[in-house]
Amino acid sequence: MPHRQVIAIDGPSGSGKSSTARAVARALGLSYLDTGAMYRAVAVAFLDAGVDPSDVEQVIAATTGADIDISLDPDDRWVRVNGRDVTDEIREPRVAQHVSAVSTVPECRADLVRRQRILMDRDPRGCVAEGRDVTTVIYPDAPVRILLTASPQARLERRGGELGGRVSGEQLRDQVLRRDADDSTLVDFTHAADGVHLLDTTHLSLDEVVLAVVALAKEIS
């Protein structure tokens, strides 16, 4: 498929990768994959099953056994795990608090990476995928690979705006800074790997970031 476009976008929490990836997919007519939503869905699955987050073997079993169905339409976002719609639930603080129990386990990451690569290859037009290891692990051969960064303060403000005051300052820091620290023990999403374009979004609007990514994608393709 010579004209197929694959765009991989990584970055820490609050760097703007989700909003950017959806808008780029919309602009280019591609599918969109939120890899982080899959980790959150698994967290819901093991919490539903009463699994202790510290029980690594049970978390692995919940991950590998989870039936995850996720929308690839940037304008119609939904996630189902084991037949249940968890679209809203995966954004709740209790899930954010425990998602690192999945994302920091190598066996869980390996299982989800395999599924994510399959999903990215599903649409013959191509896909825009965002997460923490898309550029380096899931799709290192993507023609367009971008790492978005932003200052810690900017990231906290953005995520706080997304959550609309539904969490405390402590919970917000836990979701953004603590989870980044946890995940960085397995994946480096703060430094651009060879061939990955670095884009600091601290002082850029969403429209400016989207334009920059679309321009890069058109230049490379």
pLDDT at 168: 75
Is 160 flagged in the annotation as binding?
no
**pLDDT reading at 38 higher than 90:** yes
Whole-number average pLDDT of the chain: 90
Is 54 flagged in the annotation as binding?
no
Residue 85: strand pairing partners: 80
Is 126 flagged in the annotation as binding?
no
pLDDT at 1: 42
Is 31 flagged in the annotation as binding?
no
List, for residues 194-209, the tens digit of each pLDDT value. Answer: 999 999 999 999 999 9
Cα torsion 87, 91, 95, 99 to 10°: value is 90
Q: What confidence tier does 165 reach under pLDDT thresholds 50, 70, 90?
A: low
List, for residues 110-120, the tens digit of each pLDDT value. Answer: 999 999 999 99
CATH class of 5-214: alpha beta
pTM for this predicted structure: 0.88
pLDDT at 169: 74
Is 218 flagged in the annotation as binding?
no
> Which residue spans within 30-75 are E strands per DSSP?
31-34, 68-70
Is 17 flagged in the annotation as binding?
yes
pLDDT at 102: 93
Flag the least confident range among 96-100, 173-177, 190-194, 206-210: 173-177
For 30, the token pair is: 């591609």
Is 151 flagged in the annotation as binding?
no
List % helix, strand, coil for the chain (3-state, nearest 5): 50, 15, 35
